[in-house]
Amino acid sequence: MTLTTDQEKLIEGNNIIVLATADQYGQPRAVFMGYPKCINHRIVLVDNFMNITKRNIVENPLVSILAYNKDYSVCLKISGKASYHTDSSHLEWAKGLEENKDLNPKGVVEVIIDNVEESK
């Protein structure tokens, strides 16, 4: 599934999204994630502080994302499959982001989008 240009702008423009995961037993967990990127119709997030969320993604790749504009007049509910990457190309990309200049990224989460629901 592809994102529209407006949807990509909404995701990247707010700087915060909600990422929901579940462990292998279906126990849910939702966390705020900063500075999401849209690359090739995928949502890419940097892991600077993940522990449980990382484990959940490895155990169960199904995720849900909520993204909204600053006045809450538009909300995107996105579902997809996440993968966790620690190879050098992903880490170098993450370290090169301005938002990570004072951080030490541990990995990159890439979400392949299966469905997008837009509410206004």
Confidence tier at 42 by pLDDT (50, 70, 90): very high
**Which 3 state secondary structure label does DSSP give 35?**
coil
The DSSP code for 27 is: -
Domain ranges of the chain: 5-119
Third-level CATH fold of 5-119: Pnp Oxidase; Chain A (2.30.110)
Rounded to whole angstroms, the Cα distance separating 4 from 6 reads 5
- pLDDT at position 70 is 87
pLDDT in tens, 77-111: 999 999 999 999 999 999 999 999 999 999 999 99
Whether the pTM exceeds 0.75: the reply is yes
* Integer Rg of the chain from CA: 14
